[in-house]
Amino acid sequence: MKLKAIKFFSPEENLPKTKVVKAAPLPTGYISNTGKLVFPATALGDLGINPQSAYFKIGTQHGKRKIKSLYLVPAASSEQTFSFEKNGRGHVIPLAVILKKGGLNFESEKLVFKISTFDFDQATKGYELAIETETPKPEYTGKPRGRKPRKSVDAK
């Protein structure tokens, strides 16, 4: 065997490839057709919010006519704040009048929101609810399954 025909490996080549870790999807909720912000229990758990003792100041961007996102900032006292109400498996904050004034048509279309965090000030972490319409599930375009339909034969 010739010495030139040998390929030597390095220890770095033997290390397993690291997989790219995908970021966890943002917690979501939806706006009911009665104008309530609905937070599933899993979303509240992911955010670390205790619904029994949490109070929030709720606002939107100043100077905008239509609401594109809501901002929830935790507050210490219960004056001029909103709190959660238990509803089914999740918790809700009723905001029907405010959402109607903000130009959201929650009665006829399904609205969902994605929850992200932002720094309100150095000590306070707030939550941004980015509101969007729910897109319908795309139509299935795969191969049809099961038996083929019988062709009707016209009897004369």
Whether the CB-CB separation of 58 and 82 falls below 8 Å is answered with yes
Residues 6 or more apart whose CB falls under 8 angstroms from that of 44 comprise 51, 90, 91
Mean pLDDT of all residues belonging to the chain: 83
- What is the domain partition of the chain in residue ranges? 28-133
Q: Indicate the pTM of the whole model.
A: 0.69
User: pLDDT tens digit string along 44-85?
Assistant: 888 888 888 888 899 888 888 888 989 999 888 778 888 888
